[in-house]
Amino acid sequence: MPSVILRDTNLHGNITEKDSITIDGIVVGEIKAEEVIILENGNITGDITADNNIEAGGQVTGDLYSERIHLNNSAKIRGKLSHRNLVVDEGAQLEIVSSTRKKITNNNKE
């Protein structure tokens, strides 16, 4: 079952999830999952690696790696993006370096 972290919850540490994860709270640390959905109140400091999809509607400070990245209109993103597919909605506040790749690896982290 996918995980849900609501906005009354703070996590400090690294997360690994083989399923989907929905975040509306504060996370400080690295996130690895199949799919990451960040809601409006979500605030993440750390790198996010998702196999399939990242949907960001909250604040992210850190690098994003995914097949498909969708930045919603409420997104505030600062960091590097690696993706095959990028969607940015009107209103997203960005301070990013973005690169489209055929294969997503964590290489630019090192």
Give the residues lining the site for another protein (CB under 8 A): 1-19, 21-22, 24-25, 29, 39-40
The CB-of-53 to another protein minimum distance in angstroms stands at 16
Residue type (1 letter), 95 = E
First to last CA, the chain: 32
29 or 67: whose CB is closer to another protein? 29
- Using alpha carbons, select from 31, 38, 68, 39 the residue that is nearest to residue 53: 68
The CB-of-31 to another protein minimum distance in angstroms stands at 10
Give the three-state DSSP class for 108. helix
The CB-of-99 to another protein minimum distance in angstroms stands at 29
